[in-house]
Structure 1
Amino acid sequence: MMFPENDFLTEELICNESFQDYCLGKSLENHVLWENWISARPERAADIENAKQLVNILAVKQGSRLEQVKELKSGLLQKASFQHLLTRNDQLKIPVQIRPRFYKYSGIAAAIVFLLGSLFFMLHRNLTVKESQSASASYFASGNQPRKTIVLADGTVITLNKHSEIRLAANFSPAQRELWLSGEAFFEVRHDAAHPFTVHTSWNDIRVLGTSFNVKAYPRTSAIETSLIRGSVQVVSKQHPGYSVLLKPDQKLVYRNLPAGQQADLKKIFAVSVLHGAHPAHSTEETAWVQNRMTIDNEPFAEVAAKLQRWYGIEIVIQDELVKNYRYSGTFENESITKTLEALQVAYPFEFKVEQNRIVINK
């Protein structure tokens, strides 16, 4: 297969069948091909991610939209025509009723243009934010990138999951190691007994000497998880002064933030358990995302949907309360959002459809 040397426009990427197969996880060859192409163009990360998101949206139970995209390819690749469509003022929606062939395809084109227009707006906004962030070496964010790896001045390596960010202390150095995390990150901290490494989250402080561990502390969630792979960490509570937990290798601490006024035993608030799948290679469910694997362990669909939303960058809405409580377990590697949802349907039946740029789930 020829290596894609062209610097494709976003709309050209979406129409490229090889790129579609890469996004949907259909071909290992295409996966390697496009990963190499993307790695060589880090400046294109944001619009490539937006193109991947749109391919996933168009692939979800919408009468084989991608098959129809192939028939539109020649027209969409004409930039002047595409620009003309982008500047239309009327609101464009995905059609659902049956129409004559010409109107059906013009409707599909309009839907693609509408979604791309929205994504271009987000792309412009994200680029503006990234420029301001890059001006400060003390702030790092992954945005829509699946993972972002950072090497700090002290030799510590941090891998950020999607929609995660860290802020270093103003005086961060090998002698003063302190940062703040929002989101999820895997840390490989360089050992230095004389200079502990501290990670601050909204509710806890995590103090380490030299170790590998994972912290999940996304905003607007009711729990913060700290998973220790090797070494030792001390998790200190901000809400309960004087209380801390010392973790051993292959242990996980889940801190649950209770609603105001609700009381509980501290051991229930700070729940320590053994990591699932822990073994000498240190590959666990908690760190599977570092290898691009998503794991679900007896989790309610409401939590699974939040995880899928972060993983694929597509808004997911569950409209049925019963469906929210379905519980799932499983591991997914390089699967499209469509394949993942279809696999979940095997365990418990539900319906899903695309409404504009979000997935709506019902019983």
Structure 2
Amino acid sequence: MNYWRHKAEDLVMDESFQQYCMGTNPAAIRFWEQWQAAHPEKRDLVQTAKVMYLCLNGGLDADVFAAHHRKFTEALFARGIRPGMQERKIQAVKQNGWKWYALAVAATLTGLVLTMIWMRKDVPATESNMPVYASKAGERKSFQLPDGSKVVLNAASTLRLEPGFHNGKRELTLEGEAFFDIAQDVSAPFVIHTEDMDITVLGTAFNVKAYKDDQTVETALIRGRVRVDMPAGQQIYLQPKEKLVIARQTESSDIQPLQPQRADMRKAPGGYAIDSLTHIPQDSAIVELSWVDNRLIFADESFGDIARKLERWYGVQIRFETETLRGYHFTGHFNKETLHRVLEVMQLSRPFGFRFENDHTVVLHQ
């Protein structure tokens, strides 16, 4: 399709452009990035259309947005409005009915966007109307935030934009794990809040792992520079290829003692260690980021930690019949393998048994 003559309203209604804005289709993302590179004079138009779409979309995922679109169409049909219809009074103007319909929708979109922009200036954002991005167990999502920052959300995770994000105050709250590639904006620092730390960046790529049921939380820096503020008052600055590991204090029976190499961390809130990122010698893969490429990797990790990772990865529940199994350590590298196959390979390293009680429950035993 030739997009040269398209206006912002036309782009908003294009399915490929919508997928580009939402970050749900790699082919669409690649096409629109290449199209802008080939037509730099159209970048402002594309960005204007993107802002319009994001305002209309409000951070909804594709399924919810499609449902809303169906309701909108059904409401039009209920009022007797169909594509191709024209006002009977307008006899002198002869034009294709679908073009008339498209112009009407475009005008409606423009008016709605202007109304929303005006409302944003006067009505403060609240927690209830800010976008929330969420993934279920066994599901990973990639998308782009309104400021252009790219995010990959790992399984069983939630990312909530804080009030004011659209107005230059780039703050959000994460529960779970996400990889961020931040759009640089010196005037508006990017701040991620978790239960155990706040991370401030200006423009960088990094990973944050902050699941509530893990014994540690981690920040792994790929490029740039970040500052981590912890409740106890410590301020830590990370350099590229470093990760910060913070120990948690919990009474949960699912949380095992810290591994020996982390013994220098106090087993209390605020205890931490700075490590290098973990690389796999065979292909230089970074363990902390392997999930972004849909690769399941663990390096000398306890079975208890691995079980939690497998639960999120495959959307199952894992139960230990024998507690000693939790202390077993494994190293493994898997690419698109089934859970059954992963467990079979692990059995080659240490003896244990497993059985599937149903599609969602796995029992581990000796």
1:361 to 346, 361, 364: 364
Equivalent residue number for residue 222 of structure 1: 215
Higher RCO (CA < 8 A, seq sep 6+): 1
Local SS of the residue matching 1:347: coil
- Deviation string 1:94-125 (CA, Å, 9 cap, x unpaired) is xxxxxxxxxxxxxxxxxxxxxxxxxxxxxxxx
Whether 1:208 aligns to 2:201 is yes
Verify the 8 A CA contact 2:130 2:160 in the aligned structure 1.
no
Runs of 4+ with deviation above 4 angstroms: 265-268
Structure 1: how far apart are the matches of 2:210 and 2:164? 23
Structure 1: how far apart are the matches of 2:167 and 2:179? 19
1:298 to 272, 280, 300: 300
Query: Structure 1 stretches of 5 or more lacking a match?
Result: 1-34, 37-41, 45-134
Structure 1: how far apart are the matches of 2:194 and 2:228? 10
What displacement does 1:267 show?
A: 11
Equivalent residue number for residue 247 of structure 1: 238
* CA gap 1:236/1:350 in 2 versus in 1, 3 angstroms: same
2:273 to 271, 274, 277: 271
What displacement does 1:173 show?
A: 2.4
Equivalent residue number for residue 180 of structure 2: 187
What amino acid is aligned across from residue 329 of structure 1 in structure 2? T
Equivalent residue number for residue 162 of structure 2: 169
Equivalent residue number for residue 12 of structure 1: none
Verify the 8 A CA contact 2:247 2:268 in the aligned structure 1.
no
Q: Is the radius of gyration larger for structure 1 or structure 2?
A: 2
Verify the 8 A CA contact 1:139 1:165 in the aligned structure 2.
yes
What displacement does 1:258 show?
A: 2.6
Equivalent residue number for residue 309 of structure 1: 311
Verify the 8 A CA contact 2:138 2:312 in the aligned structure 1.
no
- What is the 5 A alignment of 1:1-363? 43=63, 136=129, 138-144=131-137, 146-173=139-166, 175-238=168-231, 240-241=232-233, 243-259=234-250, 264=266, 269-277=271-279, 283-356=285-358, 357-363=360-366
Local SS of the residue matching 2:306: helix
What amino acid is aligned across from residue 295 of structure 2 in structure 1? R
* CA gap 1:347/1:138 in 2 versus in 1, 3 angstroms: same
* CA gap 1:331/1:190 in 2 versus in 1, 3 angstroms: same
Verify the 8 A CA contact 1:181 1:200 in the aligned structure 2.
yes
What displacement does 1:244 show?
A: 1.0
Number of paired residues?
230
- Deviation string 1:188-210 (CA, Å, 9 cap, x unpaired) is 00111221100000010000010
Structure 2: how far apart are the matches of 1:295 and 1:202? 26
| Superposition TM-score, scaled by structure 2 size | 0.58
Equivalent residue number for residue 124 of structure 1: none
What amino acid is aligned across from residue 244 of structure 2 in structure 1? L
Structure 1: how far apart are the matches of 2:135 and 2:324? 34
Local SS of the residue matching 2:214: coil
Verify the 8 A CA contact 1:153 1:174 in the aligned structure 2.
no
Structure 1: how far apart are the matches of 2:137 and 2:225? 31
Query: Structure 2 stretches of 5 or more lacking a match?
Result: 1-25, 28-61, 65-127, 252-264
Q: CA RMSD in A?
A: 2.9
What displacement does 1:228 show?
A: 0.2
Verify the 8 A CA contact 2:249 2:268 in the aligned structure 1.
no
- Deviation string 1:171-218 (CA, Å, 9 cap, x unpaired) is 102621000000000000011122110000001000001000000001
* CA gap 1:174/1:150 in 2 versus in 1, 3 angstroms: farther
Percent identity over the alignment is 36
| Superposition TM-score, scaled by structure 1 size | 0.59
* CA gap 1:252/1:317 in 2 versus in 1, 3 angstroms: same
* CA gap 1:157/1:361 in 2 versus in 1, 3 angstroms: same
